[in-house]
Structure 1
């Protein structure tokens, strides 16, 4: 169903009242009231501007806040009947009914439609019958006369031949998405042929520009919503003996259509002859076959679920699937198969530090850690050595580092060295297994060494705790809130900075602080070289049990898998 003139139908008074009913803060409600009222419009045509007309209702089409306010305005619509069977985005609304009978579904949908239309009348919202569509999902063969329609007092919705388009995805009755792929592939192929006509083996636009156009404008459209419809080449199912077996998803025809588009684009990008080997085309154009690209897109999308809000529907589904995996249940949906294929991964809470909070700018963080800021590594090393001599000898100094083995297992290790009064008082190496990156190891080593420093007896003699590390990005993130990989580690570090200020100390010392400073690596800075050696020793230690995969490590594994499959062509 589609709301007719969606933004124009919003009444400011009712919008404000709805926000108050939903419990939004008063200052936000007052801002929305100011935004939605006292608006006017002028029409400009051929250089002539018409008179100003005051608007009594509606939201501006171009504002990014308008779709959000409209969804809040029609929110009661999604709590009617069975809320789990109602979906919406902007002015597009979908109502789902499931049963063993098409007629039963129609009866259920008819009741939901009547309830929706009656609510629309009370709210001044009209649904466009021309843009309202109906589709039945079923197996077997039926004609259009066998599929019942929905008839209400003011709206009749018939089943139309072909797929139903909703939010850019073409749904067919069997949910095989072949019509969707055919439609998108046909559009992409038309664009590929047009692009190919601009170049040949003698003249044309530069290949790198053609590749940018192909990736940004056409291939993105060709793979649109593949996270939803791509099932993978095979799936696992248990047979009668309860043994897992591999079953084909019958996607060869899908891949054939998409590969034809990709090959056409490689020939548009490269000045090559028609007889050029396919593997050479993929390699030189730096494009992947559609199967590898679809797997990469869907797996990266699944990896992003760990960064969703705790109450996001996909996050809730992912949690339920993970719990079911503990009971060895076979995943029965595309999304479930993708989730169960992931290793145990950390969860990121994006709302731990929401984007509207005031943040430290990158320039401020660079100045805080004395980052490169245009200097060469050699210049930065000389500056650091000069600065290092000025640090009070009583302050605790810690150098840390992370390392990743170049062997097949790709083990990650961390290490640190603690010194005070020019004496090395602690030296430690540890392993983080194969599911972390150097960035994570640096952050973990930092919190481990800071926690260790707090337990030292000589801590009461120090004023400041100095932490030196050569990973620039990790140094920038330490000391501030971070919504990325190893989030828990960075949050724990912030707690340690607070603990340092209230530590037991001698009366003549001040509370001090924990200072993070970047140090250029591999330039013969003694403490950094010792920490680097300790980190490399950590890669050779036994892996920790039940290590959890970090976000950047998960993404690296997915991309490495795609690159490996690409090289095997």
Structure 2
């Protein structure tokens, strides 16, 4: 076996990291850090080796001139680094308003050839999405509808009314292979059947009913219908109907609505709206410093009994603006990202930031922390509490979460702390109507651990054992990969690491205990959690914690 001196193995996870480091100087040529004034107005988007240069201004000729200069810089960098741009894989498109379509240049002359602009009724494909000059995405919908119908034709050989796969399997095949084509990148091209446009502010003072001159408040937001989206939904419903007729034993004359009900496949406009909701949740869960996240305003949860006070994310203006005047900075604007943000519920849980002060990493690799994993749960003794002899001079913490099943969906967290078999503390907390059981378990884990650490310092205990009957919570704590209650796990990780840094001879372990198996500590924690949820029934609507977790938002959507 010989050592390789050039390159890295194919499929290595190091490959994308090294490529990002290699291509970083190319990105520094454009944007705010560029030396040239014109290049500061250019933005470069890259996906592996696919590059996209774009610029915006009030003049098509100005755009062409700046793009020519930008391409010259990119071409120069590529030559210096032993690369070249394929002359046959270049596309040039001008996004212009319908009333100014006559101002388009039609082509751009580069140092290695001339590139004709995409025609008005045509489109170009980038990362699987077909863009047209008006951003109507009509060609994209036409192409994916035709592709879905063609794929549905291949299902004929797999099933019919006499033989073939089961109906449940054919439905899974349709969702995985056909509907996924119809919903690909829906957040880019689907805007919903209706959209909300922000009200425009007034600039001139007007005389009010009291006779005084003042600037009126901004107009109310206006709901408008998207006629193009209705046309898109009709075409996509036709493609879905053609596929469902082949996937299910139905007559050709079966109506769309009846077949959708029998197949449990909603109309495409509802499916696409759900895709928008999922995209909005992904944006809300991004790091607040993410460039996409900074482009939207999201009202996160305020100070509550669960979390410390958090700041509201304020939107930054788009990186390229047509109007640089002072009035344009404060003018409300509507983009596809801001429209996505409006789909989020108010007071959604704040996302954690890897750049905030005192941010903690994963506890799974900490030398003084032991967290049971999936391999431990497969052992014969898994899910049982440690013997008292093994837990000498230690503090045991049992945590649990509960959700009322009376329709109110009020959740609660509970924890019980033991030392040498004696109960030191038992308490509970209501976590509101917008938290799932997973979130309540996470709150219980954080609150119980915080109180256990405080008692361990007071009683000079060296070992802390925390029990939870939810494996998903422990797995999220181990890998910091949770998609809900991210701030809870961040606070817990930071608390544990600070405690262990000051007490190097102490140990903390998080273990799984099987629920409802007669373990006294777990049963006591379950009673406290139910009490916390029941306490919420006696609180007024305005007194309940208002934070909406990511898991609850996904369920509501």
1:288-340 CA-to-partner distances (Å, cap 9, x unmatched) read 32112212222222322345455532133246993149x99855011112123
Does residue 1:323 correspond to 2:306, yes or no?
A: no
**Worse-matched range after superposition: 332-341 or 513-522:** 513-522
Q: Is the 8 A contact 1:346 1:551 kept in 2?
A: no
- Offset of 1:167 from its aligned partner? 1.9
Quote how far apart the aligned CAs of 1:349 are: 4.7
2:149 counterpart of 1:149: no
Corresponding residue of 1:337: 339
1:505-556, Cα deviation, whole Å (9 max, x unpaired): xxxxx95533433222223433322322221221232476775433333333
CA deviations 1:374-411 (Å, max 9, x no partner) are 76xxx978x54xx5554667643332211122344422
Q: Work out the CA distance in 2 between the residues paired with 1:491 and 1:61.
A: 35
Taking the aligned partners of 1:424 and 1:68, their CA distance within structure 2 comes to 51
Can you list the C-alpha shifts for 1:107-146, whole angstroms capped at 9, x where unaligned? Answer: 3223333343444444443333322222111222688896
Deviation at 1:76, TM superposition (A): 3.4
The separation in 2 between residues aligned to 1:458 and 1:88, in whole angstroms, is: 51
1:318–1:339 contact (8 Å) kept in structure 2? yes
Give the equivalent residue in structure 1 for 2:472: 473
Distance 1:73 1:457 in 2: 50
Contact 2:468 2:511 in 1 (8 A): yes
Which residue of 2 is the match for residue 244 of structure 1? Answer: 221
Counterpart of 1:95 in structure 2 is 53
Query: Is 1:347 aligned with 2:351?
Result: yes
Q: Which residue number in structure 2 is paired with residue 530 of structure 1? A: 524
Residue 474 of structure 1 aligns to a residue whose secondary structure is: helix
**2:128 pairs with one of 157, 168, 188:** 168
Cα RMSD between the aligned structures?
3.9
Residue 418 of structure 1 corresponds to 417
**TM-score normalised by the chain length of structure 1:** 0.73
Change (3 A) 1:276 1:220: same
Superposed CA deviations along residues 426-465 of structure 1, whole A, max 9, x for unmatched, are: 2212111233222222222123223223444995264533
| Alignment partner of 1:179 is 2:179 | no
Task: Give me the whole-angstrom Cα distance separating, in 2, the residues matched to 1:462 and 1:66.
Answer: 47
Q: Given the alignment of the two structures, is residue 130 of structure 1 paired with residue 91 of structure 2, yes or no?
A: no
Who is 1:406 aligned against?
Answer: 405
Q: Quick check: which one's helix share is greater?
A: 1
Q: Spell out the pairing of 1:65-464 with structure 2 (5 A cutoff).
A: 69-70=18-19, 72-78=21-27, 79-80=29-30, 81-82=39-40, 84-140=42-98, 147-161=105-119, 162-196=122-156, 198-238=158-198, 242-250=219-227, 251-309=229-287, 311-318=289-296, 322-324=313-315, 332-342=334-344, 343=346, 344-349=348-353, 365-366=372-373, 371=377, 373=378, 384=385, 387-388=386-387, 390=389, 395-456=394-455, 459-460=458-459, 462-464=461-463
| Distance 1:350-1:220 versus aligned 2 partners, 3 A rule | farther
CA pair 380-156 structure 1, distance change in 2 beyond 3 A: closer
Question: Aligned pairs, how many?
Answer: 487
2:548 is aligned to 549
Unaligned 5+ runs, structure 1: 1-33, 40-58, 505-509, 559-569
Q: Name the residue aligned to 2:306.
A: none
Tell me the distance in 2 between the aligned counterparts of 1:125 and 1:134.
21
